Amino acid sequence: MGRCDGKVALVTGASRGIGKGIARRLASEGAAVVLNASRMGRHGELPGTLEDVVAEFESEGLQAAAIACDLKDPAAREGLIERASAFFGPIDILVNNAAAGIMKPPSATTNADRSFMFELNVNAPVDLAQQCLPAMQAAGRGWILNIGSATSSQPELPYRDSKQAAWIIGAYGATKAALDRYTVALAHEVQEHEIFVNCMMPTSIVLTSGADYVREIARKNPDWVEPVEMMAEGALELCSGRHVGRVITSRDIVHYAARKVHRLDGKAVLGDAFLAADVEATA
């Protein structure tokens, strides 16, 4: 019996990368998954579409569906959870993974830049969580996981990278800090309804197709990266356990819960919280 049997999960930003990895791991434990991205078809330069992911999951006998929504548009977000629930039933698990950053020094980040990031990185997760709460309260169960970032804290001196690199993550990090704070407050409010709200951030840069630029650095600094399986395993724990208001890294939750890190299909154990970053054994 899987840890997510009989549950329905919605994962945003799931056409590739971390979102896809988390969705696959939840599906391996029995969840029916609804995958979200800003649009159907290809978007951006990286490979991966919602249609591709659904077809891949279904070919493995998993329940999957896709729903396109531009989450930075408040009007487009209205009723999204209701529409997503039409596929497999009410949403039991919400994973707010979609996010974006505009990398400029704090002195040069415009109002438009800040508004864009706060709309997608803060307001969208909060809106979707609020849309999910009535059905979760009626069911007497629910899990909401917000994906955070270590950029919510200013890097300590001396910077491991350049000082410019530390500066340009400031505005993006501010959105993630806001999400951390909101996560904890909401978690404390809704825990009496058996709704468990948490925030998990990568311990290091997650080695996905969107992080190819770090592969050369990773050969010299392996602690800068982690396999996507680590994020997926941490997400599974926070989307099936009884943790309340945690703002925690992927490795820390895996270690705390004494979990083994599995392949995304759940069929093999790769290691534990000390899994080497050079393990790339996706399903």
Tell me the pLDDT tens digit for each residue of 10-54: 999 999 999 999 999 999 999 999 999 998 877 666 667 999 999
pLDDT at 36: 98
pLDDT at 208: 63
Cis amide bond preceding 158, omega within 30: yes
* All structural domains of the chain: 8-271 (3.40.50.720)
Query: Where do the H-state alpha helices sit in 141-276?
Result: 163-168, 170-190, 215-220, 228-238, 250-256
Reference 62, options 88, 91, 24, 92; nearest CA is: 24
Find residue 95's DSSP bridge partners: 11, 145
pLDDT at 40: 87
* CA distances for 62 relative to 27, 50, 111, 132, 191, angstroms: 7, 15, 43, 23, 30
Reference 69, options 25, 23, 118, 127; nearest CA is: 127
Block mean pLDDT (10 aa), the chain, length 283: 96 95 98 95 73 96 98 97 98 98 96 98 98 98 97 85 86 97 98 98 74 56 80 98 98 96 96 71 45
pLDDT at 283: 45
Catalytic residue numbers, as ranges: 172
pLDDT at 11: 98
Rounded Cα distance, 277 and 151, in Å = 20
Is 88 within 8 Å of 8 (Cβ atoms)? yes
